[in-house]
Amino acid sequence: MSTVADPPEDPTSSRALPATDVLILRAAGELIDTQVAEKIVAPAYAAEPATTLVLDLTAVTYLTIEAVIPFVTLAHRCAAGGTSLRVVVSEPARRKLTSLGLESTFALESPSV
């Protein structure tokens, strides 16, 4: 079973997701602050432990250092809990994460063609 958790359109709403084999957290456009990124990862905290989390940043065109913080927090939580985290990135997201020295925190993957 696979679940895609797009951030809710209403930023004040949240929904708990059922246990899944894969939970996909999808982001798009410009990620410019911590609050936006926190909304993207929120379903991972609300869901039952998933076998694999996929942070899909393939549609991200711009990423600030502030927006990276919740992603790093999620990576540390996954590592501590034994949850697999895959991070699939666009080229702009890859450049930002690499320039911050986070390639050891995230196993960055290119989108499949």
Q: What is the pTM of this model?
A: 0.80
pLDDT digit string, tens, across residues 20-62: 589 999 999 999 999 999 999 999 988 777 678 999 999 999 9
Domain ranges of the chain: 2-109
- Structure-block tokens of residue 4: 């895609």
Check residue 47 and give its pLDDT: 76
Q: Tell me, what amino acid is at 91?
A: E
Whole-number average pLDDT of the chain: 85
pLDDT digit string, tens, across residues 71-81: 999 999 999 98
**Distance (Å, rounded) from C-alpha 88 to C-alpha 113?**
12
**Distance (Å, rounded) from C-alpha 20 to C-alpha 47?**
8
**Distance (Å, rounded) from C-alpha 100 to C-alpha 113?**
26
pLDDT band at 112 (very low <50, low <70, confident <90, very high): confident
- Structure-block tokens of residue 50: 């998933």
pLDDT above 70: percentage of residues in the chain: 81
Of 74, 20, 16, residue with least CA distance to 51: 20
pLDDT above 90: percentage of residues in the chain: 67
Check residue 13 and give its pLDDT: 40
- Which residues sit opposite 22 in a β-bridge? 2, 52
Q: Give the class (CATH, top level) of 2-109.
A: alpha beta
**Distance (Å, rounded) from C-alpha 95 to C-alpha 76?**
21
